[in-house]
Structure 1
Amino acid sequence: MKDLVRQNLSIHVEIMDLLNKQIEKEAHSSSAYLAMASWCDHNALDNSAKFFYDQSLEEREHMIKIFRFINDNGGTAYSPEVSKIAHDFNSLEEIFETALEQEIAITKSIHNIVYKCRKVQDLASEHFLQWFVNEQMEEEQTMRRILELFDLMGTEGLGLKLLDERIPGIKGGA
């Protein structure tokens, strides 16, 4: 019976499985951003801490969005386990470099699911994922812009403090 149910889903079974893996990746990103926020808190980088707390919440919202899409389309979404979160960083610049690498990996994963949607002709899932494609372009751009500030302002002392003060204005339009 279980195999019959999997064959009669609105969502293609292979896409459902890939989306469940994406849920794990979004949960991992959310937890990684919490660790980054904590590091920033401990280093008196309040704006960067807030930025990463907000990023963590956003990644969790992405996870929930995918989770609900799977369930709403007859599939079964699975709650992920999260492990192997880095908590030790050498600098704020390293944190943002790590965040950019993480966003690039998420982008590649989303693109691979979209390509699979096209291959198996799961148009509903492809349409759903378009929002994530657009979101990932914004996420990568935000991280790149912040990293550009390190080149302009430096990574120590007053330059680092001034950079931290610029963080709130970067996301979503700067």
Structure 2
Amino acid sequence: TLCGQAYGAKQYDKLGVQTYRAIVTLTVVTIPISLLWVFIGKLLTLIGQDPVISHEAGRYIVWLIPGLFAYAVCQPLTKFLQSQSLIFPMLWSSIATLLLHIPLSWLLVFKTSMGFTGAALAISISYWLNTFMLAAYIRFSCSCKVTRSPPTIEAFRGVGLFLRIALPSALML
């Protein structure tokens, strides 16, 4: 919402600030979520779930934590590109990620001792790969030259407004 408004109003510097603000805020929000995920196996057992399944779910989700942080960075980058109608970079990045994810999953699940946790690690690696590709596009593409801006302290201001808009949106999901 905020990225689209900034771009539509031709306030390109605000587009970058909103993107950085979203990255900072989502990364901070990801910290308590990841702490919850670390203990999810024990929490599931505590609420009466099967102990074996709870333990295995806990093992799996711990390997997803790096992907959670990647997702916190990738989503604002996606919104940055979407607000400018730059769809093809996201398409090509997603295709490249998929083409690498399939053999990576197979390798980590079947050719290492990781088993099913290798699938979670493959997801995390793939999220980071997609994030790095989008960030590289934004950094080096001529298409983003006008809207690209360096990180500033401004990204830390207005977090309250961002959360007031983001939380209801997140709850609707």
TM over 0.5: no
The bucket for the TM-score relative to the shorter chain is 0.3 to 0.5
TM-score normalized by the length of structure 1: 0.33
